[in-house]
Amino acid sequence: MSALLRPLRSLLFAEHHSLTRFCSSFVSRMRYINRLKENDAACVSALQSGSILLFHRLIPLLQCSDPGTFRPIALSYSEVQSVLQRAGADGSLLKESVLIGCSEQNQVQFCLDVGELDPAAVAEECKGTFMELRKAFFLLAGAEAPLVAKAQALLRWHQINKFCGATGQLTQRNQAGSHRVCSSNSNVYYPKMSPVVIVLVSDGKRCLLGRQSSFPRGLYSALAGFCDMGETLEEALRREVAEEVGLEVQNIIYSSSQHWPFPHSSFMLACHATVSPAHSQLDIDHLELEDARWFTEEEITCALQVKAPPRRDQAPTVWLPPKHAVAHRLITEWRDQQRRSEGSD
Ligand SMILES: NC(=O)C1=CN([C@@H]2O[C@H](COP(=O)(O)OP(=O)(O)OC[C@H]3O[C@@H](n4cnc5c(N)ncnc54)[C@H](OP(=O)(O)O)[C@@H]3O)[C@@H](O)[C@H]2O)C=CC1
Ligand SMILES: [Mg+2]
């Protein structure tokens, strides 16, 4: 190894080791990931000891873990190298890996799209299956659904941001894949999510759910809508409820947020809000919603027990978004609050 390289390599090792040594707490993990975004050499080194999730044209490679449950296959750098070699590709594709994050077990996670390879050969080699995210998302175990969704969103972002919107010139990514820079005017592009407000409106005794004609039969969900440029969360929420059902909400209370990959990366900002019972008459915009209804706590409890969508030959029983969707969380938070307040009456 040339005399020049030795100091650099030992410096990188020391930095990687010191960061790894401290990568035991949440703060250290966050700082370590941030450093990998800033330091290409450290990111290359982390890739060689990290785990890599494979995708084929944005479709994740999964394997069955328990009946009806799937998990992503996490491959090592050398395992991906041998998959690429057996599939007739050279290992240089590995440098296209994108940094996802660092697990609580301090495993740095990457994703790689092998879209130019034969998916059947890769799936067989890895003893897995490529499964569309729309289907896989609800079959993935808890924490792995957001991980796979984030990985797909990052890979998609790179695929549709190869050119600068201002100059038309190629953009170049950093090693981590956390940004792209225009090769001519140095404009920097970062992966984006579209903010969406989602709200469960209550009149004290009932909650309001709606459905679009594009929803599966019988599915009702909380009202949602994309934030317009310059809007606050509250302004977007008030506007969307007024537009969709003609109500003016009060008492907006933030609940939680969620990255939602369908159809593309929405950043769901979930809230509860109220209307007075005296002003709960719905005026539905049927260009936006096929239907919207007030549901009692009993009706919600029944609907939460419906585990499978009604078949075509069955009546369109009301069913609700599954646990992976933040709408489900809003609905169960409201139901639990109703029970507490009934219990205290
Ligand atoms: N995770 C969850 O629990 C739930 C998630 N959702 C998600 O929330 C999102 C929004 O819900 P939806 O009711 O459809 O939204 P809206 O009520 O805003 O209606 C959709 C309309 O918003 C416009 N639009 C589409 N994309 C964007 C964008 N990126 N920025 C600004 N406006 C946009 C389009 O209008 P135009 O055609 O006029 O441009 C589109 O027709 C959807 O992606 C849906 O999947 C919804 C319910 C539950
Ligand atoms: Mg909407």
Nearest CA to ligand 1 atom 17: 225
Ligand 1 midpoint to CA 56 (Å): 27
Same domain, yes or no: 293 and 151: no
Nearest CA to ligand 1 atom 24: 226
Which of 182, 212, 232 is where one domain is finished?
182
Report the alpha-carbon distance of residue 230 to residue 253 in Å, rounded.
Answer: 20
Is the pLDDT assigned to residue 15 strictly greater than 60? Answer: no
Same domain, yes or no: 90 and 148: yes
Kindly state whether residue 14 falls inside one of the protein's structural domains.
Answer: no
Kindly state whether residue 216 falls inside one of the protein's structural domains.
Answer: yes
Considering every ligand atom shown, identify the ligand nearest to the alpha carbon of residue 196 and give its number.
Answer: 1
pLDDT digits (tens, 9 = 90+) for 82-138: 999 998 888 889 999 999 999 988 899 999 999 999 999 999 999 999 999 999 998
pLDDT digits (tens, 9 = 90+) for 228-251: 999 999 999 999 999 999 999 999
- Residue-range definition of the domain harbouring residue 335: 194-308+315-343
Same domain, yes or no: 224 and 136: no
Ligand 1 midpoint to CA 178 (Å): 25
Q: How much is the pTM? A: 0.90
Same domain, yes or no: 151 and 252: no
Nearest CA to ligand 1 atom 29: 194
Supply the pLDDT for residue 307: 83
DSSP for 91-153, please give it.
Answer: GGGGGG-EEEEE-TT--EEEEEE-TTS-HHHHHHHHT-EE--HHHHTTTB-TTHHHHHHHHHH
Lowest mean pLDDT segment, chosen from 7-16, 32-41, 73-82: 7-16
Is the pLDDT assigned to residue 259 strictly greater than 50? Answer: yes
Determine the longest span between alpha carbons in the chain, in angstroms.
81
User: What atom in ligand 1 is closest to the CA of residue 243?
Assistant: 17
Q: Of 128, 118, 140, which Cα lies nearest the Cα of 68? A: 140
Kindly state whether residue 1 falls inside one of the protein's structural domains.
Answer: no
Same domain, yes or no: 69 and 164: yes
Kindly state whether residue 336 falls inside one of the protein's structural domains.
Answer: yes
Kindly state whether residue 128 falls inside one of the protein's structural domains.
Answer: yes
Same domain, yes or no: 119 and 234: no
Pocket test for ligand 1, best of 156, 193, 196 (most atoms within 8 A of CB): 196
Q: Are the CB atoms for 166 and 172 separated by under 8 Å?
A: no
Ligand 1 midpoint to CA 135 (Å): 20
Supply the pLDDT for residue 314: 85
Q: Confidence class of residue 221 from pLDDT cuts 50, 70 and 90? A: very high
Same domain, yes or no: 164 and 204: no
Kindly state whether residue 234 falls inside one of the protein's structural domains.
Answer: yes
Supply the pLDDT for residue 24: 58
Nearest CA to ligand 1 atom 2: 325
Q: What is the mean pLDDT of residues 182-191?
A: 94
Is the pLDDT assigned to residue 1 strictly greater than 80? Answer: no
DSSP 175: T
DSSP for 192-215, please give it.
Answer: --EEEEEEEEE-SSEEEEEE-TTS
Is the pLDDT assigned to residue 7 strictly greater than 70? Answer: no
Kindly state whether residue 6 falls inside one of the protein's structural domains.
Answer: no
Q: What is the mean pLDDT of residues 294-318?
A: 91
Ligand 1 midpoint to CA 9 (Å): 49
Is the pLDDT assigned to residue 12 strictly greater than 60? Answer: no
Supply the pLDDT for residue 95: 94
Q: What is the mean pLDDT of residues 30-37?
A: 96
CATH code for the domain in which residue 156 is found: 3.90.79
Q: Which residue has the higher pLDDT, 22 or 62?
A: 62
Ligand 2 midpoint to CA 162 (Å): 31
Ligand 1 midpoint to CA 198 (Å): 10
Is the pLDDT assigned to residue 198 strictly greater than 70? Answer: yes
Is the pLDDT assigned to residue 19 strictly greater than 70? Answer: no
Same domain, yes or no: 173 and 225: no
Q: In what order do the strands lie in the sheet with 188-189?
A: 171-173, 180-182, 188-189
User: What atom in ligand 1 is closest to the CA of residue 194?
Assistant: 29
Q: What is the mean pLDDT of residues 150-162?
A: 97
Is the pLDDT assigned to residue 2 strictly greater than 70? Answer: no
Nearest CA to ligand 1 atom 22: 226
Structural domain count, the chain: 2
Which of 151, 182, 213 is where one domain is finished?
182
Supply the pLDDT for residue 5: 44
Same domain, yes or no: 153 and 285: no
Considering every ligand atom shown, identify the ligand nearest to the alpha carbon of residue 236 and give its number.
Answer: 1
Report the alpha-carbon distance of residue 179 to residue 171 in Å, rounded.
Answer: 10
Same domain, yes or no: 169 and 232: no
Supply the pLDDT for residue 87: 87
Nearest CA to ligand 1 atom 16: 225
Supply the pLDDT for residue 345: 60
User: What atom in ligand 1 is closest to the CA of residue 325?
Assistant: 3
Kindly state whether residue 174 falls inside one of the protein's structural domains.
Answer: yes
Report the alpha-carbon distance of residue 209 to residue 318 in Å, rounded.
Answer: 10
Ligand 2 midpoint to CA 240 (Å): 7
Q: Confidence class of residue 303 from pLDDT cuts 50, 70 and 90? A: very high
CATH code for the domain in which residue 337 is found: 3.90.79.10
Report the alpha-carbon distance of residue 137 to residue 37 in Å, rounded.
Answer: 27
Ligand 2 midpoint to CA 224 (Å): 4
Nearest CA to ligand 1 atom 46: 224
Which of 182, 211, 229 is where one domain is finished?
182
Is the pLDDT assigned to residue 180 strictly greater than 80? Answer: yes
Pocket of ligand 1 (CB under 6 A): 194, 196, 198, 221, 224-226, 240, 258, 260, 262, 266, 268, 321, 325-327
